[in-house]
Structure 1
Amino acid sequence: MVESRVDSNLLQNAHVASEIFELRPDYRVILLLVEGISPGSSDDASEALLQEAEASVKNLLSKYPTTEIPHIAAWREAYKAFGAKPQKTQNSLEALMRRAKNGLPRVNRLTDIYNAISIKHQIPLGGEDLDKYNGSPFLIRATGQERFQTFSSGEPTTELAAPGEPIWCDDTGVTCRRWNWRQGPRTALSDDTTRVLFILDALEPLSDDALLRGADELTSALQRISPEVRVSQRFIGTSA
């Protein structure tokens, strides 16, 4: 693994505010910075991962309704705790699981890989294009004055984050609302993305080891398609 000084600084300066841990002391996150990714269309390798993930969906849904899958249920409770209605604002893992019932979308190689890892390891997983990112990531609870650039009915629009909701930000502004609900278009991945900050979120009952396994498999999958990738990683939690 080759780690650049820029990578080290970006991850070292990342932080999660204390009020997040007051809301959920069991919250942990892995920040995974990957550079040198080779963009490309969906291929046999990404298809194999998607099929494996789809099989895991069938297995889980044979045991639980979607809302009672353990890590999804934990995130639904977390959303309720900051005032969101999880039936209307689903965390990214639940939203992807619901799509996966009828087959995961095939988008491009990068998106297919991280969608598959999210499903297989039951981890809410987001990606930010580092070429569009400004500074280090930080997670705080909103005051209600933070502006969020998004789209509505295909048109650019600006929303205000709701008071108390967790928001991921960079030095320019909000990058993702409600912890892992909706990413802003400014830093969204594209077919040309080669540098990504992946955010892997966990609550109990998901263990640290399970979270690390998800990060390791994502790293391995990206290294198989781009052997020259450079990877840096940081774990943040109450004990780290």
Structure 2
Amino acid sequence: MEIKVDKRIVDQFDNVQIGVLVVKGLTNDYKNNYDEIDGLLKAAEKSVNDHFKDKEITEDETIIRWRGIYSQFGAKPSKFRCSIESLCRMVTSEKNDYQIRRINPLVDIYNYISLKHRIPVGGDDTDKVEGYIWLTVADGTEEFSVLNSGEKEFACEKEVIYRDEKEVLCRRWNWRESNKTKLDDTTRNVCLFVEGVSVYSEEDMRGILGEMAELVRKYCGGEASISVLNSNNLKLEI
């Protein structure tokens, strides 16, 4: 399977660094490790609450960058929030008891990494991907299966999407994952994406990927490999 980044993405947006963690042969269910992963998330949630104690979420440098990117491809950032802004709003909201919902080890691990480093992270079950994974620009004809419902909709023209050969895997770069490739307790092979722009170097991305890889190995097993896609390297074969 090939993972690739459309050259238009790296040409349009500043210093795009897409960290890729591929893990094969893992087990994605909670047995004896829920409390440990829950503890990691609680620590990250506290860190986020401390970080935003004296400032607004929209004053965070990373979130400012992503809001600008969303505006560039036509998504109003006050309506469509990047994944890290959504997570930060969840854990700073009294309505959500200052925490995010626990889902399964893989999702909880990548949410922990996302909160700790305040960077968008997502992923796909690669056994459900058809052909390839491509970060590209939508032409408005691409179909999308809404998460947890399977209802169909279409990407908007010019929005940034992940897609495979058949349909959209994630809308608005990191706004909403597809129902098609969601991570659940049947997932055995996965590709996780850490999305850096502007303020993140390739070295930063490799450090974050390495940390996430160790957690996935510890709690889910499997064989892991890390790579970074950027303007110097637009394709990866897995």
TM-score relative to the length of structure 1:
0.88
* Offset at residue 63 of structure 1 (A): 4.7
Which of 52, 69, 88 is the aligned partner of 2:79? 88
SS at match of 2:199: coil
Over residues 44-93 of structure 1, what are the superposed CA-to-partner deviations in whole Å (9 max), with x where a residue is unaligned? 22022112211220222135311111111110000001111011110111
Unpaired stretches in structure 1, ≥5 consecutive residues = 1-9
Q: Does 2:16 align with 1:52?
A: no
For 1:205, give the aligned amino acid: V
SS at match of 1:185: coil
Over residues 15-46 of structure 1, what are the superposed CA-to-partner deviations in whole Å (9 max), with x where a residue is unaligned? 11111122203111012111122222261220
Unpaired stretches in structure 2, ≥5 consecutive residues = 93-97, 234-238
Structure 1 residues 21-170: aligned runs within 5 Å: 21-41=10-30, 43-101=34-92, 102-150=98-146, 156-170=150-164
Over residues 106-145 of structure 1, what are the superposed CA-to-partner deviations in whole Å (9 max), with x where a residue is unaligned? 2222221111111101111111111211222111111111
* Offset at residue 147 of structure 1 (A): 1.6
Q: Distance in 1 between matches of 2:64 and 2:177?
A: 21
Aligned residues: 226
Q: Distance in 2 between matches of 1:28 and 1:127?
A: 16
Structure 1 residues 1-12: aligned runs within 5 Å: 10=1
For 1:216, give the aligned amino acid: G
Q: CA RMSD in A?
A: 1.7
TM-score relative to the length of structure 2:
0.88
SS at match of 1:52: helix
* Offset at residue 215 of structure 1 (A): 0.9
For 1:21, give the aligned amino acid: V
Which of 224, 228, 236 is the aligned partner of 1:235? 228
Cα 1:103/1:147, change in 2 over 3 Å: same
Give the equivalent residue in structure 1 for 2:203.
Answer: 209
SS at match of 2:99: coil
SS at match of 2:146: strand
Structure 1 residues 166-177: aligned runs within 5 Å: 166-177=160-171
* Offset at residue 156 of structure 1 (A): 4.0
* Offset at residue 196 of structure 1 (A): 1.0
Conserved? CA contact 1:123–1:211, under 8 Å: no
* Offset at residue 211 of structure 1 (A): 2.1
